[in-house]
Amino acid sequence: MKNIFSKTILGASLVVALNSCSKFGDKYLNNPNPQVNTVANTSQLLTNLLYKSCGRGNAGAVNGDLITLGAKEPALFVQYIAEAIYPSEGLYASTSGEWATFYSGPLMDLAFIINYNTDADLKGVAAANGSNNNQIATARIWRAYLMSILTDRWGNVPYSQANKVGLVNPAYDNQKDIYTDLFKELREAVDQFDNGAAFKGDILFNGDQTKWKKFANSLRMVLAMRLSKVDAVTGKAEYLSASTHAAGYITTNADNAVFAYQDNLNFRNPWNNQAVESNAFGVSDFFVNLLKSYNDPRLNVYATQSTTGNYKGVPYGLNAGNLATALAAAGPYSKMGTTFTARNSPGYFITAAQVLLTRAEAGLRGWVTTTNIKADYDAAVTASLALNGISATAATTYLATTNVLLNPTNVSDGLNKVAIQKYIALYPNGVEAFAEWRRTGLPALTPAVDALNASKQIPRRWGYPTTEATLNTAAYLSGIASMGGDNSIDRRVYWDKQ
């Protein structure tokens, strides 16, 4: 076997460009046993990168940039939660976010997997962990998912030159171009799966190609809807292509893309540490009051009762002094429900409710004419309620209430109701809810009263990492120029055109 540094390490890392504290390849170059410096086990890479993508459930990574299912900042921005002590992020204090761990972690491992399974000298060894095509297809889909999160957080980011051989100063791609390629990658990856051996080490779908295909098509439908206000023609075309693909998409809870966290400190749900042990926040008053106004049966699942036996949220957007006064007057508050904060609480990437609501929106927008809009909407809400242990009978009652009942002939009202139900169903996935809120403007959120950013408005993106200014200067300056001339968190990403 050949030493992988010669062909792969250089092509799989952006660490030099993005993280001045590490050098790519060190974990191989520093190994005293030269016999170990061979081809990495792709099944182990897959297991590792999937878990890293979900965020580690220990204190050392609570605020880490890899958390996709327990990301606190976007959950604060959309007011799912509110800080009960030391308010900062909910006041928009952060002006930048770090992305080095995305590129040097999961994205690097994905590049390894693709390289190993395409290199003529290495693909035979890699095939011991599944057919080459299946490994490549899986890696392409997950890379598309992670890159969609990156570009939706920051806007224009390194993409086409990311993780390429010899490129340590990758250029930033326009988000429009990134989306174009994400659609292509997802289309091609679904069709790349073969009938060969499943990819070992898959802790998300256990090598189930059918579920990977449904996830990819569902992701493409969701991303296509992102373009509803900026490029509806492309959005409609991509939505139709994904929704009519023979492999199907997620329509039942049995097919949800769900990560199974474990009942231990090393592999626990990140909300367990953030919500239970740190005791730093509770459910926001906005979210509690919204659920109450809808008489929503998910309230007693999404939130705990306060110590006085009622549901009361934490006042949102107040500085430490004002918050202390408000809490003293309001009394005990509700915390996140234990369904979401146990060590082994599942984490959902994409659910049937989200996809069915996207389908209902496509019908309301006229992107499809062969769907029953109300049936899709009702099925979505029912699926969300069922996922939270609420009966079909209760769902029927809820769907008949004035605030929830959908009249598909009233398009404007219908779009509003779809957006609100998607916001409720996505809880506590702040990453996805933040994207939806920026796209739809719903629900109508009031910015933090004591906001610390200059505009006093809810951020629209993350600022570029501060290290980029010195480690990737030319690309950084070009990226700022392409985002409107500065690195402000108030700048809007490509599809954010409310």
pLDDT in tens, 29-56: 334 444 444 668 999 999 999 998 987 5
Percent of the chain with pLDDT over 70: 90
The predicted structure's pLDDT at residue 12: 31
**CATH for the stretch 4-264+345-440:** 1.25.40.390
- Per-residue pLDDT averaged across 66-93, rounded? 92
User: Would you say residue 9 has pLDDT above 80?
Assistant: no
Most confident by average pLDDT, 26-30, 49-53, 233-237: 233-237
Mean pLDDT (the chain) is 90
pLDDT in tens, 238-282: 999 999 999 999 999 999 999 999 999 888 999 988 877 677 899
User: Would you say residue 382 has pLDDT above 50?
Assistant: yes
Helix axes 430-440, 209-226, angle to 10 degrees: 30
Which residues neighbour 341 within 8 Å (Cβ) at sequence distance 6 or greater?
A: 269, 271, 272, 275, 276, 335
* Residue 216 CB neighbours (<10 A): 30
Which residues neighbour 12 within 8 Å (Cβ) at sequence distance 6 or greater?
A: 24, 108, 109, 111, 112, 115, 163
Residue 291, amino acid: L
- Per-residue pLDDT averaged across 142-151, rounded? 97
Which residues neighbour 61 within 8 Å (Cβ) at sequence distance 6 or greater?
A: 55, 67, 270
- Per-residue pLDDT averaged across 279-288, rounded? 94
The predicted structure's pLDDT at residue 38: 60
* Residue 99 CB neighbours (<10 A): 24
* Residue 34 CB neighbours (<10 A): 8
Beta pairing, strands 157-158 & 172-173: antiparallel
- Per-residue pLDDT averaged across 394-413, rounded? 98
The predicted structure's pLDDT at residue 115: 95
The predicted structure's pLDDT at residue 70: 87
Q: From CA 135, how far away is CA 140, in angstroms rounded? A: 9
- Residue 349, SS3? strand
| CB-based contact 249:218 (threshold 8 Å) | yes
Which residues neighbour 242 within 8 Å (Cβ) at sequence distance 6 or greater?
A: 186, 187, 217, 218, 220, 221, 224, 249
Which residues neighbour 356 within 8 Å (Cβ) at sequence distance 6 or greater?
A: 251, 376, 377, 379, 380, 383
97/200: higher pLDDT: 200
Residue-range domain boundaries for the chain: 4-264+345-440
Beta bridge partners of 157: 173
User: Would you say residue 6 has pLDDT above 90?
Assistant: no
The predicted structure's pLDDT at residue 273: 81
Q: From CA 18, how far away is CA 20, in angstroms rounded? A: 7
Extended strands (E) in 338-490: 347-350
Q: From CA 401, how far away is CA 184, in angstroms rounded? A: 41
